[in-house]
Structure formats: C-alpha cells, structure tokens
Structure 1
Amino acid sequence: MKKILMSFLGALFVLGFGFAGGAGESIAKGPYKIKFGNTQGEKDTQTMGLNEVARRLNASGLFEVTVYPSSALGETDDIMEQGLQGAPVLTVTDPGRLMSYINEFGVIQMPYIFKDASDLDKLIETPMYKKWEKSFEDKFGLKLITSNWYSGARNFVCDKEINKPSDLKGLKIRTIGAQLYTESINAMGAVATPMAWSEVYSAIQQGAIDGAEVQTPSSYATRIYEVSKVTNRTEHFQLIGCVVMGAKIFNSWSREAQEFFIKTFKEVGSENQQLVKKLTLQYEKEMEGYGMIVRDVDKTPFIEAVQPVYDKLNYRKLKDELFKQLGY
C-alpha cells in the first residue's frame, strides 16, 4: 500500500511540475482549439485572411480553428474582453481601439501617417513597436500577435460629392468609437457618429446617419452601395489590423505552436496587403456597375485639416521618432 501511495504522489508531482511551467512550456501538445471572430462579412478581405490562417493552422495538426465573421461572436471589443477573461478567442482590432490601453500606440493609425500598407511589415520590427507589444502583455494580459494586417484606405461614403472639409459640415458620419477617429473626423468637418458596424446599413437607410467613413472591402461586403451613392476617395486612414487574443491562452500552448501561430499570421498579413489593393479596385468597378460614383479627391485640404489633431493627442514628437525608426 505504501509503494502504491508513493507512486501516486510521484505521478501527481510530475503532472504538477509539467503544468507549472512558464510560457510555452505547457504539457499539452494540442491540437489547440480557438475561435476567430470579427465584425466583417464573408466577402471582406479581413475574413478571407482569417479563413486562410485557419486553413494553414488546421492543416498543421497543431490547431482546431473555426472562423466566425459578421459579429457572430460579438463586436470587436466584446471578443477582446472574452479573450482577456481566458476564452480561446481571437479578433482583429485596430490601433485606435488599442490606444485605450496604451495611448501612444494610436500614433500608427493617425490620418495620413502612411501613404499605404507597404511599411507595415517594417513597422512591427521597430524598437518602438516591440516595446508596445511587451507592454500590452505585461500590463494588460493582451497578446498582440501582429499589426501588419491591412483592411484598406478609408473614404467618405455618402450621397454627396466631398471636395473639401466644409462639404462635410453637418453630415453625421459613422466612425469607430475611439478618440483618434472621432477627433480626426470632426477636424475634417463632419459630425463623428460612432456606432457598431453591423448597424450602419440600416442607420443610413433610415436616415439616422448621412454616411460612413469606411474602406472599400467593407462597404462592398456590407452592400453599402445600395444605400449610399458616392465614394469620395479621401483615403484619410490606412486602416491597420491588429491581431489580438488573451495572453493566458497563448502562453498555455507549446513553444512550437506559438511560433507557428505568429509566423502564419504575419505571412498572411503580408499577402493580404496586396490582396486588399487588388480587390479594392475590383470592388470599386463592381460598385460603379451598381450605380455608385467612385471619385478621386484632392487630399491636400484634408491633410491640413487634421494636423491639429497630432498636437491635441500629443503625437507630434512620437511621429517624428517613429519616422526615424522607419528610416523615413
């Protein structure tokens, strides 16, 4: 009986030691189950990217991934909160939302800071970004997988041709509910009106708002062209996708799984940058076929209009340091 008891206690000790390991030392070997959720439709390029990541991860045998588009798991902030509470979920958010955790992080989403997505792969390797990445995990338990995902350039979509900031005066324009976005949209002349993306189509249809500032892949996937007539290509935000999940779940995986997970997301992010550019042109042509006017706009007056926002949010020096690290 004594030998049996000692063997039992020994087994418990081994198991306890195995589960007490640090990040990447979990005794479990997978497959690890996780849900990917976002607010975009099936045809949106972000959803395409998540489906491609899921395909590669599932093929590895290390993961069992299911993708839930169109707010099936809730809005972006809801999914983030689920992850922080320990649920095995992941979503794609943006720097404007994440600045509520680390204010400095919002600088990378400021209007007209990047001409396009070509520098996002370089951005995530800068010392400034690496410092933010560590702070998100250490201070908030939020694992920032990557920020090189790209959703497209955001434009003013409404029933009016917009040529200068004064043309937006009095127009209620849907934007993301974070200070960076509301301050910028107000500075460009509109009345910033935050609301969930899933509510935008009906809000425009019912006259509750006059339009939205949105990237073409999302307006196309949500069929906004059915309720708005004009896409004004101001391209004021290059919308960055930040892939996030709870650090607790991520750190319960084997090191092999962690490395493969991050590598896959970064690779698909790079590929999706080009896909977004290609499909944006394709979708704009299709929307023109449905009667929407897609028009270029002189960006100069809009660039000038948002400059005070850099000072209001104390981002001027931060922008200069970031540009230095990027080699601008």
Structure 2
Amino acid sequence: MNSFLSRRAFVAASAVAVAAPAIIGRAQAATTLKISTSYPNDPKFSTARIWYDLFVPRLQAATGGAVTTQFFPDNQLGQEADVANQVKLGVVDAMLVGASIWTNLVPEFGVFDLGFLFQDYDHLLRATATPAGAGLQQLLVEKAGTHFPAWGRNIGARNFITKFAFNEPADLAGHKIRCLPSPMVTETVRLMGAAATPMAFGEIYTGLQAGVIDGMEHDAPTILSAKFYETAKIFTYTRHIHTPFGAFVSDRTLKRLPTDQRDGLLRAVREATDDWFKRAATAENDAVEELKTKGVAVHDCDRAAFRERVQPLWDKFAETTPGAKPMIDAVRATEKA
C-alpha cells in the first residue's frame, strides 16, 4: 500500500514539475495588443505606419517587452466606424486614426471637423493644451470607453485633389467631392461649394476610377501612399481642416493591464506622439514634392473666400452641441494675429 502511494506521489510530483515551466511561461508571456488603422502600410508617407514605427521601440523600453503589438493596416480589421466600436468594447485594443471618426460616439468631437477652425497644427496644439482639450478627452472615455493620451497630428492639413482646377467656391459647384463620413466635414465641404459625398476610405480609389466622385479631400501623404493621384491630378492647398491624429486606446484594455504595463503603454504613446509632431511638417512637404513627380499639378486657392463661407458653421455647431463651445472659445483665444 505504501509502495503504491509512493508511486502515485512520484507521478503527481512529476506532473507538477513538468507543468510548472509551462505555467511560469504563460505568466511571463508578453501581452500582445491589436492595433488597427485604415491607413496604408507605407513606412515613408503613411501617418499611422510612421507613428507606429516610432512607438514600438518606446513600448519595448517602457514595458521591458512585457507588452507587444500586432499592426493591422489597410482596414484589415474592418472599416473605421466598425473598428471604433470594437475599441470601445475592447475587442481591438487601439486604433490609429484621426479624431473625426469618434463624432458618431462623441458628438462634441465634431468640433475638429469644422472648416478653417485652426490656423495650423501649432494652433491646434495650443488650443488642445487648455482645459477644453482635457474636457474632450474625458468625454471620450465616458461616452466611447476610449482614451486619447496625446494630441497628435496628421502629416498635413486636409486639402483637395481633383480632376478639375478651381480657385473659389463657385468653381466647385456641381462637382462631387468625397469627404469623410462626418456631419461637420460633410457640411464644411458643402459650404465650400461642392457636392459633398461621404464615402468610406476603402471605397475612394474605385470611386475615383469609376467617376462616382470628381475628387476627394485628405492630407498629401495619404493621397500619395494610397495612390489617389493615379486618377485625380490636381492638388489644391485648401488647408480646410487640421485633424488631430493619434492612438485611441480602449479603456477595457487599459483596465486589463497591470499598473506598470498600463503606465508604460501610455508613456510610450505620448513620447511617440510628441516625436511625430516634430517630424510631420517635413514629411508633408516631401509628400507634396513627390506628388509633383507623379504628374500632379499643385495650386493655391482663395482660402479667405472659402473661410468666409464656412465660418458661420462654428457658432451654429456650438448652439447644437454646447459641449463643444469651450473648445471653440479656446481656439479663438489662442489664435495668432
């Protein structure tokens, strides 16, 4: 009997000894986060890919390799609106995107889609550094279960690339311009004089090819990396919208992480965003120069005429969305003469 028990004890002890390394291995295994973006996987001119490449080594340093990531560019996990909901639910851990997509969940974020609101991206940074910016970040957590740890920027302002030339609002009449599926972007483009045509990012290329749209609005590097210039050949500096861009991180994901990993992740996000902000202007200029080599003509336009038509939208939006008024006030208070 004792011999039998001894054999059983030996077998049990052996099983524990074999299992222990596996258990320890699982405990020490890195947490892998899914990061989604609609942007192309272009290391030179894709805002998301450039930001991601700046972020990865910082995350490694900040977490000691305890947190790693998988990158899903080109809408691999779905269209932006669907992924935003997945971030809210914690199915996707983070997405790299402009602020506009959050308007459906947080209407106050529509303030960033108001045409000609910011003079440039430095103006955006000054305005969002106020309590109004912190208030919008808190609303995003409360309404969308998502954190925006650092105010970043796209490579450039949104401009038009079209199949026709224009200089003033009257020149856009009757022309279908793809715009972001956001109420304020749509209204901005309409007030500029065009037939605003909301369309998902993944549908733009074929829309241009098929003649469903006559042009679209986006930043120059995205236009370049997505090859929209292959059909539309006239780029016009409208600079009508300066969109915040960055990493939007699921609140559920942050709550799942140990405190040290969470703090390390947020620190890496902020550092990568700050670094990217400093580099972006050069990347924008490089993209415009490369568009020229692709046969794209680059023009200015009468921005004052467009701004005059769009500016009344600011106060109208503040009336219908009172939570956005502090940011509009901050914008006006931080303007440079």
Secondary structure of 1:42's match?
Answer: coil
Do residues 206 (structure 1) and 210 (structure 2) align? yes
1:52 Cα offset (Å): 2.2
SS class of match (1:162): coil
Identity of aligned residues (%): 25
Residue 262 of structure 1 and its aligned partner are, at CA, apart by: 1.9
Q: Which deviates the most, 118-127 or 82-91?
A: 118-127
1:224 and 2:232 equivalent? no
The 10-residue stretch of structure 1 (267-276 or 182-191) with the greater mean CA deviation from structure 2: 267-276
Preserved contact between residue 109 and residue 239 of structure 1 (Cα < 8 Å): yes
Q: Write the distance in 1 (CA, Å) between the matches of 2:115 and 2:167.
A: 17
Counterpart of 1:235 in 2: which secondary structure?
strand
1:72 shift after superposition:
1.2
1:322 equivalent in alignment to 2:330: yes
- Structure 2 residue matching 1:146: 3-state secondary structure: coil
Decide whether aligned partners of structure 1 residues 317 and 84 sit closer, same or farther in structure 2, where only a CA change above 3 A counts: closer
Distance 1:33 1:322, change over 3 A: same
Pick one of 277, 280, 284 that aligns with 1:273: 277
Greater gyration radius? 2
Q: TM-score, normalised by structure 1?
A: 0.84
Q: How far apart are the structure 2 equivalents of 1:56 and 1:260?
A: 9
1:124, 1:147 within 8 Å by CA — same for their partners in 2? yes
- Greater displacement, 51-60 / 35-44: 51-60
Structure 1, 271-280 or 313-322: larger mean CA deviation = 313-322
- 2:37 partner amino acid: N
CA positional deviation for 1:66: 1.4
| RMSD of Structure 2 on Structure 1 (CA) | 2.3
Look up the match of 1:177: 181
Q: Structure 1 residue 164 and structure 2 residue 172: aligned?
A: no
SS at match of 2:157: strand
Question: What is the letter of the counterpart of residue 184 of structure 1?
Answer: T
Residue 67 of structure 1 deviates from its aligned partner by: 1.1
Cα deviations across residues 283-304 of structure 1 (Å, max 9, x unaligned)?
2112211211011223110110
Match of 1:48 in 2: 50
Q: Which runs of 5+ in 2 are unaligned?
A: 1-26
2:14 corresponds in structure 1 to: none
Q: How many residues align?
A: 301
1:307 aligns with 2:306: no
Q: Per-residue CA shift, 1:68-97, capped at 9, x if unaligned?
A: 111111122222211222224211233333
Distance in 2 of aligned mates of 1:155 and 1:319: 23
TM-score by length of 2: 0.82
Q: 1:139 to 1:229 in 2, by over 3 A?
A: closer
What residue is the counterpart of 1:10 in the other structure?
A: none
Tell me what 2:34 maps to.
Answer: 35
Q: Which amino acid is the alignment partner of residue 199 of structure 1?
A: E
Q: Measured at CA, do residues 284 and 231 of structure 1 come closer, stay the same or move farther in structure 2, by a change above 3 Å? A: same
Contact 2:176 2:195 in 1 (8 A): yes
SS at match of 1:99: helix
Secondary structure of the residue aligned to 1:167 is: helix
